[in-house]
Amino acid sequence: METIDGTDRGTHNGFIRTAKTAQFTWNSAPIDGTDVVRSLAAVGREFRFPLDVDLRPSLTINDESNSHLYQYLRDVSDKLKCALSILQIIVEERRQPHQDHHNKDKTKPPFKIGDIVKAHVQVQSNAAKGQVGKLSYQARGPFKIISDLSHQSFEVQKLDKPDSTIRKYKSADLYLLPPSLFPQNL
């Protein structure tokens, strides 16, 4: 729409007007599930509509003694601390429902700590060797699962090297190693 408007008018100055309006709309909307305005939580005050800001004369914050400036800074800092603490509480309260919603349809992986697994990793393309990485996978391991990070993530370590690097894999990349394929030294 801005492209068409800019072409008709011969200028893209309308973009600034649209951006200011969209910015005001976002900042004046309440945070999900609350009556707290986003701008209040972010900077401690509600923003004025862009046209009001442009048409009204600027407020004088400074005078010879800077008393208005100092009072403004005191007010903003107090409101900002309060707004940031409110915002932190809201973020913490909203994070868990979003995480629960995202994970509600996931099934519990069949792995447990101590299982012997192998991991599928994608092959990187290498022109010198003639390897094409698209949809090519190779197995790495065997690994031993040493911790469950929840949400289908696991930390694994090489089976034959207990002091090796700990790696993280999603359960979709892991598969159980059948006992018939266990290494001889187990």
pLDDT in tens, 2-14: 677 777 878 777 7
Q: How far is CA 112 from CA 120, 161, 175, in A?
A: 18, 19, 12
Closest of 174, 127, 126 to residue 149, by C-alpha: 174
Closest of 178, 169, 114, 181 to residue 137, by C-alpha: 169
Exposure of 26 in the CB half-sphere (CA atoms within 13 A): 7
Asked, as a colleague might, if the bond just before 110 is cis with ω within 30 of 0, I would say no
pLDDT in tens, 46-78: 777 766 655 555 556 566 667 766 776 677 676
Structure confidence at residue 169 (pLDDT): 94
